[in-house]
Amino acid sequence: MKTVRLPLFALCASLMLPAPAFSAATVGQPAPDFTASGTDGKRHSLADYRGKYVVMEWVNPGCPFVRKHYSSGNMQTTQQEATRAGAVWLTINSTAKSSGDYLSAADMGQWMSEQKAAATATLLDTDGKVGMAYGAKTTPHMYIIDPQGKLIYAGAIDSKPSAKVEDIATATNYVRTSLQEALAGKPVSQANTKAYGCSVKYEG
C-alpha cells in the first residue's frame, strides 16, 4: 500500500485563512444532528450514538497543527483513552474537493490507518454542512457531546496553540480533562476554549 504524501503547496496552503461566516453550535444546548459518509463506506448519524459520549475531531492531514498531534501520538493516545472509557470518537474532514488538501475517502482512510488512529469512524464532510453546523473553524477543532445529546465542550485540543511537538508535554489536554470530568459526573470546568490550527478548507 502506497504512503499518502501531500505536496508542499498543499501543506503551505493549510496555514490559517479567513473562514466562512456561520453560527456555531452552543455549549449547553443540543448538538446539531447530522449524517455523513465514512471512509468505511457506511453512513453515520450522530443519532446512532445517542446514550454515549461522543468526541468530534476536525482533521486535515495537510495541516502542520494536525501533524503535530498525530506525529507525536498525542491524538491517537487521546482517542484510545476516550474509546476505552466507552466514548465514541468521530474524526471529520470538511476539506472541500476544490482544495489542494482534499483527500478521497480511500486516501483519508489510508492516512488514518498509517497513523494507527483509534477513531470510531472517520467521516467526510466535503460540502461543509457538518462543519458549519458546529462552527468548526480550525484543524483540529474539538467537541464533546454527552449521552443526552448536549454539547458540553467546544474548542482546542490543548492549551498550547503551537505546531511544536515539544509543547505537548507541558500543555493541558482539554479534551482529556473535560471527558474525565464528565465521566465522573462533574461539570466541565473549561467548557469553551479557543481552538487553534489551520483554517478548515470549506468550499468558497
pLDDT over 50 at 19, yes or no: no
Q: What is the pLDDT of residue 15?
A: 42
Q: Please tell me the distance from the alpha carbon of residue 197 to that of residue 59, in angstroms, as a whole number.
A: 10
| pLDDT, tens digit (0-9, with 9 covering 90-100), for 29-76 | 999 999 999 999 999 999 999 999 999 999 999 999 999 999 999 999
Domain membership of residue 15 (yes or no) is no
Residue with the three cell numbers 445517542: 50
More confident call, 188 vs 10:
188
Section 76-83 average pLDDT:
98
With a threshold of 0.75, does the pTM exceed it?
Answer: yes
Q: What is the pLDDT of residue 23?
A: 58
Q: What is the pLDDT of residue 140?
A: 98
Q: Which amino acid is at 34?
A: F
Q: What is the pLDDT of residue 6?
A: 45
- Model confidence at 12, in pLDDT bands (50, 70, 90)? very low
Number of domains comprising the chain? 1
Q: 57 phi and psi, to 5 degrees?
A: -125, 120
Domain membership of residue 161 (yes or no) is yes
- The residue range of the domain holding 121 is 50-199
| pLDDT, tens digit (0-9, with 9 covering 90-100), for 134-150 | 999 999 999 999 999 99
pLDDT over 50 at 1, yes or no: no
Domain membership of residue 87 (yes or no) is yes
Domain membership of residue 16 (yes or no) is no
Domain membership of residue 22 (yes or no) is no
Q: Please tell me the distance from the alpha carbon of residue 79 to that of residue 176, in angstroms, as a whole number.
A: 9
Q: Which amino acid is at 91?
A: T
Domain membership of residue 98 (yes or no) is yes
Q: Report the percentage of the chain scoring pLDDT > 90.
A: 87
Q: Which of 21-30, 52-61, 74-83, 155-164 is predicted with the least confidence, judged by mean pLDDT?
A: 21-30
CB of 66 within 8 A of CB of 60?
yes
More confident call, 11 vs 138:
138
Q: What is the CATH number of the domain that holds 95?
A: 3.40.30.10
- Model confidence at 24, in pLDDT bands (50, 70, 90)? confident
Domain membership of residue 65 (yes or no) is yes
Sign of CA dihedral 61, 67, 69, 72: positive
pLDDT over 60 at 18, yes or no: no
Section 165-172 average pLDDT:
97
- Model confidence at 17, in pLDDT bands (50, 70, 90)? very low
Domain membership of residue 43 (yes or no) is no
